[in-house]
Amino acid sequence: MVESIALHTRLKPGTEEAYADAHAHIPAELVTALKEAGVRNWRIWRSGLDLFHVVDVDNYQKMRHALADHPANVPWQASMAELLEVQDDYSGEDAGIQKVWELP
């Protein structure tokens, strides 16, 4: 069963263009690592400085653990850390944003 996980991150002011540009050029090895870790899809929306992610993944905690020290993810996370005030926690212990409601 695929999980849909919502996440929230926040950009540092003035980094909107750099963030969009980085995501226009995702490294192929990162895409491969995400897919190998069970990510089916990852979508990001931006409202001002707030970023909202929806990740469709086989097992969220397993994916986080698999990517925490992955050689394709570590440099990507370092570059994102320069752009984000609030960023994802790759400990694998989080569960994303709590779902309140879903259309039955």
- Sign, CA dihedral 59-61-64-68, equals negative
Domain boundaries, the chain: 3-86
The reported pLDDT for the residue numbered 4 is 96
Q: What pLDDT band is residue 95 in, cutting at 50, 70 and 90? A: confident
Cα distance between residue 55 and residue 57, in whole Å: 6
pLDDT of residue 90 exceeding 90, the answer is no
pLDDT tens digits along 4-41: 999 999 999 999 999 999 999 999 999 999 999 999 99
User: What's residue 93's pLDDT?
Assistant: 76
Amino acid sitting at position 55: V
Which residues are part of the catalytic machinery?
23
d(CA 38, CA 41): 9
Domain made up of 3-86: CATH architecture? 2-Layer Sandwich (3.30)
